[in-house]
Amino acid sequence: MDNNTKRRLGVLDLAIIIVLVLCAIVFALRFYGRAEISGEDLTGKYTISFIVSDVRHTTADAFVKGDRVYVATDDTCIGVFERLDSNNPAAYYAEDPSAGIVKVYYPEGTRIDLTGTIISEGVMNDDGYFANGSYFLAPGKKISIYTGHVFVDITLSEITEYAE
Amino acid sequence: MAINIKGKKKRWNGMDLFFVLIIAAVIAAAVFVIGNMNKSQQSAKTESITIEYTVEFRQVNNSALGTVKEGDIVRDPDNKRNIGTVISVQSVPYSKITYNPNDGSVYMAENPDVSDLVITIRAEATHSDSGYYVNDARFLVGRATNIWSPGFAGSGYCINIREID
């Protein structure tokens, strides 16, 4: 650059400034969720327990250990499927003229309830658990998930620190 | 930047270096953001495999049974592409859980007018973290599945997928 001439703002300078501003906006949007997380963060592996209610009995066979688990609505990976913990006949609530609502169970080989475990990496702090540091999950939350083999609706039941 | 202006060779200075660093940072940021945006695409699809997937159609009117046969080509209603060939058709009476208040038992009561139609289809597929793909149609156990065949159209759920060696 010529030190004797006053440099004027050129088209290239303007383009770089615009790119810089866009870059800053993208970063701000990308990390906004994380910036809101406050308190003491405990980053690490967590065990997410879940319930699958009232599915066909063959569905249990489609859970494969090691499959990545994605949220169906936005394709966020929340962890890796670890195991099924229980496989029982699905509950059915029938009306009984004398006893009111009674809980009975589907016959074997029809509908089942499952419980299982996902291993997830994320952050636990005062605000709750965030898979990958940004995706909020909590017991009671209902989400549709898929792996490479199965698509189901689950209800989260517990999130605890992973123990080997 | 090595540019000749009026015969003078321009030399690198701090501002040029600053711009280069900014451009490198922008490229790095773009790669990072695009990489995260692509997280949904999961792992790349692999080589072609043969699968047999089974779709269950609930409460099909009995008059529609027999309209789909072994050997029928089935298509995806969305993209009209071939999604396999029917290799097995079964039907079982539709049944519903019923409670007997007299003894507290439950049983599956059959409805004689409608049936559950179970169709198994063989197809060439690819597999990725997001499921099996046959001509861009996605299959997962538990996922809703629509099919067309020459004599039948229905919406059911995939209940089983088996890879054939």
Is the CB of B106 less than 8 angstroms away from the CB of A74?
no
- Looking at the fold, whether B53 and B35 belong to one and the same domain comes out as no
Residue ranges in chain B whose pLDDT is less than 50: 1-3, 38, 40-41
- Looking at the fold, whether B58 and B82 belong to one and the same domain comes out as yes
Token look-up 């004398």 returns A98
- Looking at the fold, whether B73 and B153 belong to one and the same domain comes out as yes
- The predicted model scores a pTM of 0.75
Is the CB of A70 less than 8 angstroms away from the CB of B42?
yes
**Three-state DSSP state, A76:** coil
Q: What pLDDT score does A50 carry?
A: 97
**C-alpha to C-alpha distance for A103 and A90, rounded to whole angstroms:** 10
Q: What pLDDT score does A94 carry?
A: 93
Q: What pLDDT score does B40 carry?
A: 46
| Alpha-carbon A9 to chain mean position | 48
- The encoded tokens of residue A143 equal 């989400």
**Three-state DSSP state, B103:** coil
- Looking at the fold, whether B30 and B59 belong to one and the same domain comes out as no
Is the CB of B101 less than 8 angstroms away from the CB of A105?
no
Which chain B residues touch A92 with a CB distance below 8 Å? 97, 99, 106
- Looking at the fold, whether B82 and B154 belong to one and the same domain comes out as yes
Q: What pLDDT score does A155 carry?
A: 97
**C-alpha to C-alpha distance for A54 and A92, rounded to whole angstroms:** 9
Number of domains in chain B: 2
B160–chain A Cβ distance below 8 A for any pair: yes
**C-alpha to C-alpha distance for A45 and A85, rounded to whole angstroms:** 19
Which chain B residues touch A53 with a CB distance below 8 Å? none
CA atoms within 13 A on the CB side of A71: 16
Which chain A residues touch B12 with a CB distance below 8 Å? none
Residue ranges in chain A whose pLDDT is less than 70: 1-9, 29-40
Which chain B residues touch A133 with a CB distance below 8 Å? none
Q: What pLDDT score does B123 carry?
A: 97
Token look-up 């999604």 returns B83
Question: Residue ranges per domain, chain A?
Answer: 8-37, 42-161
- Looking at the fold, whether B14 and B63 belong to one and the same domain comes out as no
Q: What pLDDT score does A98 carry?
A: 87
Residue range(s) defining the domain that contains residue B16: 4-40
- Looking at the fold, whether B23 and B56 belong to one and the same domain comes out as no
B131–chain A Cβ distance below 8 A for any pair: yes
